[in-house]
Structure formats: structure tokens, C-alpha cells
Homo-oligomer: A and B are copies of this chain.
Amino acid sequence: MMSEGTVRPGGRTARVREAVLRAAGDLLAERGFAGLDLAEVAQRAEVGKTTVYRRWGSATGLVADLLVEMADSSVSRTETGSLLGDLRTNAHLVRRTLVDERQGALFKAVIAAATCDARTAAALHAFYATRVGEWAPCVTAAIERGEAPVGTDPHEVIRAVSAPLYYRLLASGDPLDEASAERAAAAAEAATRAGAFVR
């Protein structure tokens, strides 16, 4: 994790952070969390090994900072006008991310790192809170349109779309094909209409 009181954040410090996080992301995507060697990160980032150890301390610390960076980079979101349409868009977006060679491996690695360290876990949870929060409004709108019962928890609906896809990625290993994204969206929508997510 970055130290809090950085006195000289400009110029070089920022460049070093960018280069190191980029190298760390590449390496995580290529070899997974167990294969994250800080010395190699330093070499790829063309930065002194000492710098990496001093600023981030450990592999989990580096991943935690990477997650802060990932949470900051927001993606734009479109509205289709129907709950099912929005959930399908979300499901396919998540699926494409997880299927992507680099992104999918990166997510796996980051989640693995979070299971090993409390701080990294906190950063991961914050990341997902941000992402889920970005999509929640489309459920709120659906409630207002009468497509979902009053009292439905918007966050729970969004999580319900992602959950089956992550389960496949991390646990069961079943293929993350387009049909799985369609089912995830359809199931979440059906459960929502049935009131399964009413608080």
C-alpha cells in the first residue's frame, strides 16, 4: 500500500508508481499471484528493486494499490430502458472482462491476493462496492417504472448478475460462454420480479 503522507507526489514518484503498477498487472496476468516476484516487477518497470520493497513492501501490498488504481478507472454505462436489457448489458460486460486473456487472469490473481491479506481484501471489497454502486441506479429506475417490486435492494440485484459468472471463473470452471451471461441476466431479472431481493 502507498504510504499516506507523500510529500513529493509529482513527477518521478508518479511515473514510478505507474510503471510499477503496469508491470505488476502484466506479471499477475501472465503468471498469477503465486508467480508475482517483486524483483521481476522492478526489472520490468525499469525501477530499482529497493524502491518497490520500500514503497509497497509485499506482493499483497502491491496488489492492494493496484486495486485502488483499478477502482479509480471507471467505465461508462448505457441504459436500455428495461431492467432485463440493462442486466443483460451488465452480464455481457462482466463476461467479456472475465473472458479477456489479460483481464480475466488479472481478476483471478487479485482475488487470490485478497484471500491472503486483510488490507488487500478491503481494497477488493471497495472496488466491487464502487462497481456495483455504478450499476445500482438502473435497478432503482426499474423500480420506479414498476418493473421490480418496491423495496427491492438494487445492489443485491447487480450482485446476483455477476455472482454466477464469478462462480464459474473461480470455482466450478464451467465455460463462460455468451449463454451463461444470458442466463445470469435472465435469472437475476426473474428473481427480482418474484421479489427475492426485497429487503
Contact = CB atoms under 8 A, between A and B. Distances in A.
Interface of A: 32-35, 59-60, 108-109, 111-117, 121-122, 124-125, 128-129, 132, 156, 159-160, 162-164, 166-168, 170-174, 183, 186-188, 190-191, 193-197
A40 B41 CA distance: 28
A117 B105 CA distance: 12
List the 8 closest A-B pairs by CB distance, nearest first: A190-B194, A125-B173, A187-B191, A163-B167, A34-B116, A112-B112, A187-B196, A108-B115
Contact of A171 (B59, B124, B156, B195): B124
Given A187-B197, A196-B190, A197-B183, A171 B111 contact: yes
Question: Which of A122, A190, A197 is packed against the most chain B CB atoms within 10 Å?
Answer: A190
B160 A35 contact: no
Contact of A183 (B116, B121, B129, B196): B196
Contact of A166 (B170, B191, B193): B170
A156 B173 contact: no
Nearest to A179: B199
